[in-house]
Amino acid sequence: MARPGHGRSRSSLKEEDEDEEGEDPVDALISRTGCMEQHRALQECMAQGQDWRRCQPQVRAFGQCMAQRRQRPP
């Protein structure tokens, strides 16, 4: 719990620090796979519907892209 006079919790300070550091590490990793377009489509669907079951086409597309990436040699 925050001390009196402080309006921020420790977790909110950590989130601000991450925002200031730049790109999210997960986004950076996905970007390197070449599957960012599929990932963003899945994120948009999830944001709109709030139910992953309604986003099965996007889940499959992202999964297929990632599977193809794993099959390619580095």
The pLDDT tens digits of the residues spanning 11-65 come to: 444 444 445 567 789 889 999 999 999 999 999 999 998 888 999 999 999 999 9
pLDDT at 12: 45
* pLDDT in the model for residue 48: 93
pTM of the model: 0.62
pLDDT value of residue 52: 85
End-to-end CA gap in the chain: 46
pLDDT of residue 22: 72
For residue 22, give the 3-state DSSP assignment.
Answer: coil
All structural domains of the chain with their residue ranges: 25-71
The secondary structure of 11-38, three-state, reads: HHHHHHHHHHHCCCHHHHHHHHHCCHHH
Spacing of C-alpha 69 from chain mean position: 18
